């Protein structure tokens, strides 16, 4: 089957997401979509869709939430690097690395690796004023008109460990954060303060139109926490709390992207006012659907749990369907579930499996039947 088969829908995407965060019944499971560019292009070819028109694609697939995207339009801060790209917000450098299935932009040439304290302390970031808020507001109005739920932020918002590693190298970032190296903490706070101010401006301009805030922080390997609870509480928690408090001041729920074995911190999240968790790699320790529902069901909204390293990438359509049904059956016990891949769908994923994934979500009925 090389087409998306949707049934009758009663709710708008906005209503569906709002009910999901309230742990209320929905007409069908809410849907999210994350993908690498090559995998997206492969899928669009099979579906006969324009890969560049994400709005039309998301409407066709029935994806329920989209981001209040905003473009940087300030002065150029970071120098160009030949055959590289640079992030306009924090200057991370990536290079294009090809493989047998496609290609990735991988981080490299870390600008703060082996830098002295003065360079780290004075590392530049944009001003919160250097973004196109009018275009953002116009896009939000379009999404509202089209019935989408809207999130502000993404897995990079509020992120400390991962983004610092992108510009400093992971090893040095972890050492400096663990030792509370003052220049490193200073540059982290400068970056987060930019994000806070920019996010507040977006929320102010779009009051009543945004449905949730999306944060990110990679906290686990496949088997263990990346950092101790003590370090989380001392360094990361008070900084994450600022974003949660901002969301709550606008009466918005908050979801956070956490890779790997991350459930060790979920009770802390609940205490902080976090409403949901994203990614949910089922193969990681204490991250299976059964474990999550048993320990946090009804207290945290779950987004993800369809592994991009399992049958979706390596199995048959039947195996993909089976894992999706099993996951939906478990997650439906507590409501509050957004069906989505654990990470971006990878380039080696057969597009037919992705189509099967979403068709299974549409055809699923509680009780495991289709």
| pLDDT, tens digit (0-9, with 9 covering 90-100), for 224-271 | 999 999 999 999 999 999 999 999 999 999 999 999 999 999 999 999
pLDDT value for 370: 46
Q: pTM of this prediction?
A: 0.96
pLDDT value for 341: 98
| 20-67: pLDDT as tens digits | 999 999 999 999 999 999 999 999 999 999 999 999 999 999 999 999
Burial class (CB in 10 A: 0-12, 13-18, 19+), 145: exposed
| 65 lies in some domain | yes
Q: What is the CATH number of the domain that holds 274?
A: 3.20.20.210
pLDDT over 50 (residue 368): no
| 106 lies in some domain | no
Q: How confident is the model at residue 353 (pLDDT cuts 50, 70, 90)?
A: very high
CA 104 from centroid of its chain's CA atoms: 18
Residues 6+ apart with CB under 8 A from 46: 2, 351, 352, 355
Count CB-CB contacts under 10 A for residue 2.
Answer: 10
| 82 lies in some domain | no
Nearest to 33 by CA among 49, 14, 54: 54
Domain count, the chain: 1
Residues 6+ apart with CB under 8 A from 242: 192, 196
| 4 lies in some domain | no
Residues 368, 325 contacting (CB under 8 angstroms): yes
- Percent of the chain residues past pLDDT 90, beyond the cut: 97
| 115 lies in some domain | no
Long-range contacts of 242-246 (CB under 8 A, 24+ apart): 242/192, 242/196, 243/153, 243/157, 243/158, 243/195, 243/196, 243/199, 243/213, 243/215, 244/215, 244/272, 244/273, 244/274, 245/273, 246/196, 246/199, 246/200, 246/203, 246/213
CA distances (Å), 239 to each of 215, 229, 232, 325, in order? 12, 15, 10, 38
Host domain of residue 155: 13-73+129-363
pLDDT over 50 (residue 351): yes
| 98 lies in some domain | no
Residue found by looking up tokens 């981001």 in the block: 67
pLDDT value for 1: 67
Task: Please report how many Cα atoms fall inside a 13 Å half-sphere around the Cα of residue 217, on the Cβ side.
Answer: 27
- Percent of the chain residues past pLDDT 70, beyond the cut: 98
| 177-211: pLDDT as tens digits | 999 999 999 999 999 999 999 999 999 999 999 99
pLDDT value for 321: 98
Mean pLDDT of 319-348: 97
**Rounded distance between C-alpha atoms, residue 189 and residue 51, angstroms:** 37
Residues 14, 147 contacting (CB under 8 angstroms): yes
pLDDT value for 2: 87
Q: What is the mean pLDDT of the chain?
A: 96
| 124 lies in some domain | no
Count CB-CB contacts under 10 A for residue 331.
Answer: 22
| 309 lies in some domain | yes
Burial class (CB in 10 A: 0-12, 13-18, 19+), 180: exposed
């Amino acid at each position: 089957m090389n087409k998306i088969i949707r049934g009758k829908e009663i709710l708008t995407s906005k209503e569906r997401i709002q009910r999901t965060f309230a742990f209320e019944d929905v007409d069908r499971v809410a849907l999210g979509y994350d993908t690498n560019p090559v995998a997206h292009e492969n899928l669009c070819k099979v579906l006969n869709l324009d890969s560049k028109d994400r709005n039309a694609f998301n409407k066709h697939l029935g994806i329920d939430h989209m981001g209040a995207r905003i473009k940087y339009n300030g002065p150029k801060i970071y120098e160009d690097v030949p055959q590289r790209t640079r992030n306009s917000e924090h200057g991370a450098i990536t290079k294009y690395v090809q493989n047998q299935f496609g290609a990735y932009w991988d981080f490299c040439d870390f600008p703060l690796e082996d830098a002295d304290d003065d360079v780290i302390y004075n590392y530049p970031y944009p001003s919160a004023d250097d973004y196109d808020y009018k275009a953002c507001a116009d896009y939000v109005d379009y999404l509202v008109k089209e019935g989408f739920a809207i999130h502000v932020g993404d897995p990079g918002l509020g992120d400390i460990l991962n983004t610092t590693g992108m510009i400093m190298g992971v090893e040095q970032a972890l050492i400096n954060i663990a030792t509370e190296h003052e220049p490193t903490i200073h540059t982290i706070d400068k970056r987060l303060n930019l994000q806070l101010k920019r996010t507040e401006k977006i929320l102010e301009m779009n009051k009543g139109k945004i449905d949730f805030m999306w944060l990110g922080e990679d906290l686990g390997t496949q088997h263990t926490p990346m950092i101790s609870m003590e370090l989380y509480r001392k360094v990361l928690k008070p900084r994450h709390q600022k974003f949660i408090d901002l969301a709550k001041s606008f009466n918005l729920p908050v979801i956070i992207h956490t890779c790997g074995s991350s459930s060790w911190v979920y009770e802390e999240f609940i205490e902080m006012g976090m409403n949901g968790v994203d990614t949910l790699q089922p193969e990681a320790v204490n991250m299976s659907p059964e474990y999550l529902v048993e320990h946090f069901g009804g207290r945290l909204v779950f987004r993800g749990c369809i592994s991009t390293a399992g049958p979706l990438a390596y199995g048959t359509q039947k195996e993909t369907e089976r894992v999706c049904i099993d996951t939906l059956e478990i997650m439906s016990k507590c409501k509050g579930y957004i069906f989505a891949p654990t990470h971006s769908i990878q380039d080696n994923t057969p597009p037919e499996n992705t189509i099967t994934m979403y068709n299974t979500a549409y055809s699923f009925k509680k009780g495991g039947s289709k």
